[in-house]
Structure 1
Amino acid sequence: MYRVMIADDEGIVIDSMKFIIEKEFGDKCSLEFAKTGRRLIEVAEQFRPDIAVVDIHMPGINGIDAIKEMKQFCPNAVFIVMSAYDKFDYAKEAIKLGVLEYITKPMERMKVIDTLKRAMDQIDSERAKRSNELLIKEKLETIEPIIENGLIYDILLQEHFEEDVDSYKSILGIEDDYGYMMAIVCGETQEGNHMTNAVGSSVKVSGMYREIREGVKSFFDCKIGNVMANKIAVLVPYGSKVLEYNDRTELIDRARDMCRYLRKKTDINFRVGIGALHPLRDLGDSYREALNALIATTGTVAHVDDLTISCSYEEDYPKELEKPMFEAVSKGDLNGMLVYADKYADWMCQRAGSGDLMSMRLKALEFALYAEHIAYQSGGQTYHYSGRDTYLPEIMGMSTPTEVRDWFIAKLSNACSDVVSKREERSNDIIRTAMEYIKDNYSKEISLDDVSRQVNISPYYFSKIFKEESGLNFIEYLTNIRIDKAKELLSGTDMSIKEVCATCGYTDPNYFSRSFKKNVGVTPTEFKERG
């Protein structure tokens, strides 16, 4: 259905247009009429036409001015103007207004029909476009919560890679590199610093999650996770790495207003903990700060920067180097570790140059021990209680920053190397044990599961590292062992084909013969005859 409005001060023109439209388009059009510019505007406000055929010269407000007025409340309407005057100024003004067609009177019937069909096609196209946009919006509203929860889940559990965070930022339209986390905690009532009936409240909140999500987003431009126990994690992107005092105060007031709104909406009590600003990839730290802020106070809203529970650093301390440096150690990434360790060592040398060598010694010792602790955990090494009793005498015997720096870099480098070498050593031990087991038991009916059980790792992981280390999968390696033994027996003994088959672990002589020919190029019989 198309809503069509005709405006002309001549009744005969209106009657003619009505006759043409009804005859050509039948009940596809709903019609309204006006004989003045003012009446056109008044009727159009109620009728909201899809198509408006407007005469330029009407009493009072002319057609051009009426169209300008109508465009304010009918922005998607298609306008067709008509006039008894073929004047360039009118046509130019009509073009500026985006009018579809300028028709001169007397109007040709086919010209009118053709113009109306073009207008209807344009309306159909716009309607289809709008419908598609709504469909996309509907799908996004369904998918977006899942993607937001995936981002928060990855950040909290630190199961993401750098490219994962970049992908989430792109999909969710996050342009900021920093942010903070809020921990929204719900309960029946508040007793001290905790909420009562956490389980019951979490069930109730889960049933009202959509309303709560919309409520939180009305106060904060944020990304929201699912209900976890009686908690909801909220990520708020931020454009700076510093939160000014006034901004923090405004943030806390807004969080308090949000709690009151959610309480009224759900009849559930809420508290909100707010963590400090961090780079997006490190927002797991901000969430833990938000939870600790709630534990440390009994207020409805608690910001970690208002409390004394977080560690602060002197102004020039390179805190941002610590985490990536030790992450590189845990991965055995020597080059990555050296990038950060060199920068940190430069800072320590600068401070030691001012006469603070003892602090450099202690920090180098602290970080060396921590790097080795990570290596023990990440590399599967055996911890020796008395293995580092020389470290303190060594570090105290150094008299220059350069000596301490070299010792510091060496210890962190060794920790990286230990992670890699221990992992490789363990893989080599597993493969060596597996190969020995296969060589000792090839004559039996053994499977991948039998061998992986022997080395005490899952069949999937064993299969993966066996292929990486040997270049063959388990079946290929076992087959090579059996075929080599069969060739040895066939050429060096008087054993029959059947006896060789059984000795080499094959239960089916036909299968043995096919496997032998596939790997050697001839049958066992032909091989034996050739000596």
Structure 2
Amino acid sequence: MYRLLIVDDEPIIVDGLIDFFSDLQGFPELELYWAYSSHEALACLRSTRIDIVLSDIEMPEMNGLALQKEINQRWPRCKVIFLTGYNDFDYIHSSSRNGATDYVLKTEGDAQILKAVRKAIEALDSQLALERLIRNAETRLTQALPLMQREFWMDLLNGTEVLKDKEEVQAQLQELQIPLKADEPLLMILGRVDAWKEEMGQSDKMLFLYAVHNIAEEYLQDAFRIVHIKYRQDRFVWLLQFKQPSEVTTGDERSAWPIHQINGYMELIQASCSSYLNTPCSFMTVSEPFDWDQIAQRFDTLSFLFARGLGTRQEVLLSDQQLFEAIQEGHDGRAKIRTAQLLSDFLEKGQRTEFMALFDQFMGTVDGASFSGTGTAVEIFYAMVSMFITYINRWALMKEVSDRFNISKLFSIEEHATWREATASFRQLADMLFDMKSDESEQQTNEVIRNVQDYIKRNLDRDLSLTRLAESVYLSPSYLSKLYKQETGLSLTDYIVDHRVQKAKELLIGSEQKIHKIGRAVGFESAAYFARCFKKMTGQTPQEFRDGVRRS
């Protein structure tokens, strides 16, 4: 919905145009504003976004051309249509030079005014056309590309990105200008700066990391395609793919040869970092190529290596094979933590379907009929308990949940005879929490609708513009308009007019005020507009209604 502001120092023209646009059928819906001077128009423009201004040029104190300059400063996308009794080339030239959309003589009538407003609407629509938005986005892609690439890789490393088929992954790689292939396996190297020099600031550290990447490329770029990903201040990942197929044909030898080559290069890279940059670095490598859907698992494994045993020392160079069996249990734990975090995210966002699908998979890793006292079961059970308790405490739901659910079932795994029973209990609690979230959203929506309607009833004779109503409930105008229509099936304009007419009926019956004063008392600026709305709602003019009541 666009907003139209009508400005003229002659009230009869403003009121007539308001009536004209209010009664239009089959025309794009407009939110109407009006002003009887340029200063009133400026007051409106300071508080409200206006899309189209239909303004007289010749006005006292500030003419339309001066107003146009103010409009251009505040709302550059606003379309200005000048309505004037002067057919003067200088006016046309000046207004066009300042960006006016059109110029209409008052003698040309309503049809020409309507044509000019329609033209302005079409111009606004074209500015928002999808093709234009896409073109603008493409011009900014280069600036945003590093951030988009990092977000893509971090989603894969953390396991939050669900990989699609290889063709879709390849299309995404090309879009992000990543020089890897989705149908070829990967190699991974994790790097760590073991100690920064004390005098190094943030920019120095960033430059140092670039230097490390440059050293790696010097040694690796002839044989490998390589991508760098910084995921912490002192940690980074290199993902590699071998450029040319190996001459070795047997499976085991073919996968081992590039790994041996990488290990040899890593010794040189580590030595160069120490020699040329005078800073110790450690590296962890995978022991074999892996598929794209294993990125998060391999990242967890190498990260775990840095956190224990030899990985805690400086200038280490290890592969996952050296400690694979020792860290397998730790990796499984990381996977469980990541799954619990995803479940927590789905719960927070109200994504019931996604939550339940992952929940069934997570809980299904333990035999449902067995007693739930195994190590894996205990770990999963208390991971779920921690997630639920955190959510319940964050939203202060403990009392409400306790009234509807046996909360003691969360305190001990011994409360459940079988794993299937524990799973059913968790599912019941999850369903309850999702229902509460849905009920809360509906309750908040109902409260917004009720508050808006109460405000309208209390202020029928005052400003009831969409902007003012939105301010009263702390929402944006466009969102309030959409929300109200979705929830009630009526537009806010229809609701306001209906209540103004109902209030006018009461005053027509219970008072002797003149009809035009009653119209103003309930918010109709124009007597003619009041009469039209009243007749549209009741089938009678205000006078006919009053006379009919008195005769009965």
For 1:405-441, what per-residue CA distance to the aligned partner results, in whole angstroms no more than 9, with x for missing partners? 3212222333333333333333333333333333333
Instruction: For 2:196 and 2:353, locate their aligned partners in 1 and report how far apart those are by CA, in whole Å.
Output: 49
Q: Report matched runs for 1:69-468 at 5 Å.
A: 147=145, 149-156=147-154, 169-173=170-174, 174-175=181-182, 191=195, 196-200=200-204, 202=206, 220-223=224-227, 251=262, 253-254=264-265, 257=268, 286=299, 293=306, 298-299=314-315, 312-313=330-331, 322=340, 324-350=342-368, 353=370, 356=373, 360=377, 363-374=380-391, 381-384=395-398, 390-392=408-410, 396-459=414-477, 461-468=479-486
Instruction: For 1:231 and 1:175, locate their aligned partners in 2 and report how far apart those are by CA, in whole Å.
Output: 25
How far off its partner does 1:370 sit? 0.7
| Residues 255, 272 of structure 1: 8 Å contact kept | no
TM-score (norm 2): 0.49
Instruction: For 2:294 and 2:504, locate their aligned partners in 1 and report how far apart those are by CA, in whole Å.
Output: 58
| Residues 273, 302 of structure 1: 8 Å contact kept | yes
For 1:337-378, what per-residue CA distance to the aligned partner results, in whole angstroms no more than 9, with x for missing partners? 33332333333235x62773697467435414413534665x
For 1:465-489, what per-residue CA distance to the aligned partner results, in whole angstroms no more than 9, with x for missing partners? 3443334454444344334433454
| Residues 448, 459 of structure 1: 8 Å contact kept | yes
Structure 2 counterpart of 1:170, one-letter code? A
For 1:249-298, what per-residue CA distance to the aligned partner results, in whole angstroms no more than 9, with x for missing partners? 7556545656778999x979795766988966985994997699499554
- Secondary structure at the aligned position of 1:196 is classed as coil
- The percent of aligned pairs where both chains have the same amino acid is 16
Structure 2 counterpart of 1:353, one-letter code? S
TM-score (norm 1): 0.51
How far off its partner does 1:403 sit? 2.4
**Deviates further, 450-459 or 250-259:** 250-259
Structure 2 counterpart of 1:150, one-letter code? M
Q: Residues 461 and 199 from structure 1, CA distance in 2 versus in 1: closer, same or farther, beyond 3 angstroms?
A: farther
| Residues 484, 492 of structure 2: 8 Å contact kept | yes
Partner of 2:92: none
**Are 2:523 and 1:505 equivalent residues in the alignment?**
yes
For 1:303-328, what per-residue CA distance to the aligned partner results, in whole angstroms no more than 9, with x for missing partners? 7887899972569x978865554443
Structure 2 counterpart of 1:343, one-letter code? Q
Structure 2 counterpart of 1:342, one-letter code? D
Instruction: For 1:230 and 1:393, locate their aligned partners in 2 and report how far apart those are by CA, in whole Å.
Output: 39
Structure 1 counterpart of 2:203, one-letter code? V
- Secondary structure at the aligned position of 2:387 is classed as helix
Instruction: For 2:391 and 2:291, locate their aligned partners in 1 and report how far apart those are by CA, in whole Å.
Output: 23
How far off its partner does 1:150 sit? 1.3
| Residues 155, 282 of structure 1: 8 Å contact kept | no
Structure 1 counterpart of 2:171, one-letter code? S
Partner of 1:470: 488
Structure 2 counterpart of 1:299, one-letter code? E
- Secondary structure at the aligned position of 1:399 is classed as coil
- Give the number of the structure with larger relative contact order, counting CA–CA contacts within 8 Å between residues 6 or more apart: 2
| Residues 284, 302 of structure 2: 8 Å contact kept | yes
Partner of 1:96: none
| Residues 485, 492 of structure 2: 8 Å contact kept | yes
| Residues 149, 224 of structure 1: 8 Å contact kept | no
How far off its partner does 1:199 sit? 1.4
Instruction: For 2:233 and 2:529, locate their aligned partners in 1 and report how far apart those are by CA, in whole Å.
Output: 58
Partner of 2:81: none
| Residues 179, 236 of structure 1: 8 Å contact kept | yes
How far off its partner does 1:523 sit? 5.4
- Secondary structure at the aligned position of 1:175 is classed as coil
How far off its partner does 1:504 sit? 1.9
Which consecutive unaligned segments of at least 5 residues does structure 1 have? 1-139, 239-243
Q: Residues 455 and 260 from structure 1, CA distance in 2 versus in 1: closer, same or farther, beyond 3 angstroms?
A: farther
- Secondary structure at the aligned position of 1:312 is classed as helix
| Residues 169, 182 of structure 2: 8 Å contact kept | no
How far off its partner does 1:331 sit? 3.2
| Residues 501, 512 of structure 1: 8 Å contact kept | yes
- Secondary structure at the aligned position of 1:390 is classed as helix
